[in-house]
Amino acid sequence: MRKTLRISFALKNTYRVNGILFSLKQIPLLKRLLPASLYRVRGLKIFANALSALWEIASAFIGKFLYFVTMVCGIGILYQQLPENAVFLHILLFLTVIGCFVNTNLFNPTKDKYYAMILMRMDAREYTLVNYLYAILKVVIGFLPFGLLFGMDRGLPLWFCLLLPLCIAGMKLFVAATSLWDYEKRGFGYNENKLSKYVWGGVALFLLIAYALPALGVVVPASVSMAVFLACIPLGAVGLAKVLTFRDYRGINKELLSGLTNQMDSQVAVQIVKQANEKKISADTSISSNRKGFEYLNELFIKRHKKILWDSTKKISCVCAFLVAAVLVGIYLLPEEKSAINEIVMTWLPYFVFILYVINRGTNFTQALFMNCDHSLLTYSFYKQPGFILRLFQIRLREIMKINAVPALVIGVGLALILFATGGTDNPLNYAVLIVSILCMSLFFSIHYLTIYYLLQPYNAGTELKSGTYRLILSGTYLVCFAIMRLRMPILVFGAMTIAFCVLYGIVASILVYRFAPKTFRIRA
C-alpha cells in the first residue's frame, strides 16, 4: 500500500506541476521571459513541485476554514436570538449530511483515477482504498483545529470538539458504505458529479432546514445534535468495515470513469458542450427581424438562442422571488425579529455584491456569443473595425443587461419590501438607492464580463478556453467580491458608491474596447 500511495502522489503531482507551469506560461508578463522548453527547466520544476506540496498541505485546511467562516459561523451570526452552540451544531449537522452525498471522494471520477486504473492498470481495490483513507484522514486533520476554534468559541465542551472530526468522518464512511451496499444490490454505481433529482431535492430540503428553520426561531437542541454526531462514530466503524471488505472496486470504478474518456480530450469535451448548446438553439425558419445592420444580427441571435440565454435567468428569478416571499412570511410569523432584520437590510448591502456575482450570467452569454456567432464572423476584417466593435459591444451590453436585470430587480424590490415590512426607514431615499444599487451591481458584472471578453477573447478556433489572463481576472473578481461581502456600510453610502463606480466603469470600459479590442478581439491560436 505504501508503494501505491507513493505512485498516487507522484501521478497527481505530475499533472499538478504541469498545470502550474502551463499557468505560468499564460501570464502576459512572464510569457516572454519564460523559455519555450519550459517543462525541461529544472529550477522551475522544483518551484512548481514546492507549490504543489504546499497546496497539498494547505488544501486540508483552507477549504475547512472558509467553510466554517462563511457557511456555518458566517451565516450563524444572523440568528443571534438563539443559543450559539445549538445554531452552530444545527447548521453543521445538516451541511455535513449534504457533504456526505455531494463530496464523497470515493465516487468522484477524477483524472488521477483515470490515469492510474484505466491507463496504468493499477490494482483498483488497493488504489481506491489508499486514496480514500488518505482523503478521510485529511478530513479529520482539516476539521480538528477549526472544530476546536469555532466549537469552543460557541460554548461546546473540549472533549466533543476533539471528537467532532471523527464524527464527520464517520458519517462520510457510513454513507459511502450504504452506496457500496446499494451497488451490490442493484448494480448501479453512485456518481457525485451526476446527482439524481432526488438527491438534489434532498440537498435543497436540508439547506432549507439548516438555514430557514433558525430564521423561524427553530433549531435542533444542542444535546440532540451532539447525540447524532456521536452516533456517527460507531456507524463510521461499520462503514469502514464495509469499505475495507468491498471487493468489486474495479467494476464500480470502471462504471464511474466510463464517461471520463471524452472529457480527457479537451476538443471532444468542447464538442459535447457545443452539441448540447445546439439542441437548445431554435431551428424555426420563420424567425426574422425588421432591423438593419448589427441590430438585425443581434436580434436574430437573441431570438434563436432564447433558451440558452433566458432559461437559467427565469429559474434564478423564481428562486429569488420564493426566498423573498419566505422572508416576508417569516417576518409575519415572527414580528419580534423585525428590528434585527431591518438592521441587516440597512447595513448588509455589500453582501449582495457576492450574490449578484454568483447569479450573473455573463460567462454563459459570452460563451454563447463566441460559439454561435463570433467564432465565424471574426474571420472577416470588417468585423474588427473600431467603430463596428464599439457599436456591437453597446448592443450586446444592452442585451446582457436585460438578462441580468431580471433577477437583480427581483432582489432589489424584494429587499425594499423586506425593509418596509420590518419598520421601514426614516429616509425614503433608501428604498430607491437599494433598488438602483442592486441593479447597478448587476450592470457592473454585465459590463465586466463583456469587456474582458472583448479585450482578451479567451477562446481558440476549437472553442477551447486558452487565456490564462482571463482565468486570473475571473479568480480576482471572485476574491474581490468575497472580500466586499465582509463589509458593513449604510445603504446610502455603499449604494451611492456602487452607482458612481458603475457609471465610471462603463465609461472606461467603452474607451478600452474602442481603443484595444480591434487588436485583441480575435481568434486565439
> Do residues 52 and 17 lie in contact, with contact meaning Cβ atoms separated by under 8 Å?
yes
- Same-domain pairing of 350 and 498: yes
- Same-domain pairing of 307 and 255: no
> Given 221, 248, 264, which residue is the final one in a domain?
264
Q: Is residue 48 part of a domain?
A: no
- Same-domain pairing of 234 and 315: no
Please tell me the total number of residues recorded for the chain in this structure: 525
Least confident of 275-289, 363-377, 404-418: 275-289
DSSP 183-247: HHHH-----TTS--HHHHHHHHHHHHHHHHHHHTT----HHHHHHHHHHHHHHHHHHHHHHHH--
Phi and psi at residue 524, to the nearest 5°: -75, 150
Q: Is residue 140 part of a domain?
A: yes
Measured between alpha carbons, how far is 252 from 193 in angstroms, rounded to an integer? 15
Q: Is residue 317 part of a domain?
A: yes
Tell me what pLDDT residue 337 has: 78
Measured between alpha carbons, how far is 3 from 9 in angstroms, rounded to an integer? 10
Tell me what pLDDT residue 443 has: 92
Between these two residues, 463 and 492, which has the higher pLDDT value?
A: 492
User: Based on the structure, what is the number of domains in the chain?
Assistant: 2
pLDDT above 90 (res 265) = no
Residues 172-187 have a mean pLDDT of 89
Tell me what pLDDT residue 270 has: 54
| Alpha-carbon distances, residue 134 vs 5, 41, 56, 108 (angstroms) | 9, 31, 12, 15
Residue 412 domain boundaries: 298-520
Tell me what pLDDT residue 274 has: 57
Residues 325-329 have a mean pLDDT of 86
- Same-domain pairing of 369 and 245: no
> Given 264, 287, 314, which residue is the final one in a domain?
264
Name the pTM for this structure: 0.67
Q: Among the residues of 39-157, which ranges form H helices?
A: 42-66, 73-76, 84-102, 111-113, 124-153
- Residue of 252, 207, 225 lying closest to 99 (CA atoms): 207
Structure confidence by residue, pLDDT tens digits, 284-307:
556 667 767 777 777 777 777 677
Residue 348, classed as helix, strand or coil, is strand
- Same-domain pairing of 480 and 332: yes
Q: Is residue 235 part of a domain?
A: yes
**What dihedral do alpha carbons 184, 202, 72, 485 form, nearest 10°?**
120
Mean pLDDT value across the chain? 82
Tell me what pLDDT residue 422 has: 87
Amino acid residing at 22: F
> Do residues 416 and 435 lie in contact, with contact meaning Cβ atoms separated by under 8 Å?
yes
- Same-domain pairing of 396 and 350: yes
Confidence of residue 485 (pLDDT cuts 50, 70, 90): confident
- Residue with the three cell numbers 488504489: 127
Q: Is residue 104 part of a domain?
A: yes
- Residue of 77, 67, 85, 154 lying closest to 344 (CA atoms): 77
Residue 524, classed as helix, strand or coil, is strand
Tell me what pLDDT residue 35 has: 63
Confidence of residue 197 (pLDDT cuts 50, 70, 90): confident
**197 class by beta-carbon count within 10 Å (0-12 exposed, 13-18 middle, 19+ buried):** exposed
| Alpha-carbon distances, residue 154 vs 84, 149, 464, 504 (angstroms) | 6, 9, 48, 44
- Work out the percent of the chain whose per-residue pLDDT is above 90: 24
DSSP 433-466: HHHHHHHHHHHHHHHHHHHHHHHH--BBTT--B-
- Same-domain pairing of 321 and 448: yes
Measured between alpha carbons, how far is 351 from 365 in angstroms, rounded to an integer? 24
Measured between alpha carbons, how far is 376 from 210 in angstroms, rounded to an integer? 48
Tell me the Ramachandran region of residue 328: left when phi exceeds 0, alpha when psi lies from -120 to 50, beta otherwise: alpha
Tell me what pLDDT residue 166 has: 95
Between these two residues, 93 and 298, which has the higher pLDDT value?
A: 93
Q: Is residue 275 part of a domain?
A: no
> Do residues 87 and 79 lie in contact, with contact meaning Cβ atoms separated by under 8 Å?
yes
- Same-domain pairing of 123 and 196: yes
Residues 69-79 have a mean pLDDT of 84
Tell me what pLDDT residue 441 has: 92
pLDDT above 80 (res 188) = no
pLDDT above 70 (res 522) = yes
Phi and psi at residue 412, to the nearest 5°: -60, -50
Beta-bridge partner residues of 460: 524
Residues 151-179 have a mean pLDDT of 93
Least confident of 79-83, 114-118, 180-184: 114-118
Beta-bridge partner residues of 459: 465
Q: Is residue 70 part of a domain?
A: yes
| Alpha-carbon distances, residue 486 vs 70, 408, 489 (angstroms) | 10, 20, 10
Least confident of 15-19, 105-109, 163-167: 15-19
Q: Is residue 52 part of a domain?
A: no
Amino acid residing at 475: S
- Same-domain pairing of 457 and 403: yes
Measured between alpha carbons, how far is 45 from 18 in angstroms, rounded to an integer? 9
- Same-domain pairing of 312 and 172: no
- Residue of 120, 169, 108 lying closest to 3 (CA atoms): 120
> Given 242, 264, 286, which residue is the final one in a domain?
264
pLDDT above 60 (res 516) = yes
- Same-domain pairing of 127 and 260: yes
Q: CA triplet 279, 285, 288: central angle to 5 degrees?
A: 110
Measured between alpha carbons, how far is 174 from 163 in angstroms, rounded to an integer? 16
- Same-domain pairing of 81 and 158: yes
Tell me what pLDDT residue 177 has: 92
Give Cα 423 to chain centroid, integer Å.
35
Measured between alpha carbons, how far is 23 from 467 in angstroms, rounded to an integer? 9
> Do residues 416 and 434 lie in contact, with contact meaning Cβ atoms separated by under 8 Å?
yes
Least confident of 250-264, 379-393, 402-416: 250-264
- Residue of 326, 342, 329 lying closest to 422 (CA atoms): 342
pLDDT above 90 (res 158) = yes
Between these two residues, 18 and 81, which has the higher pLDDT value?
A: 81
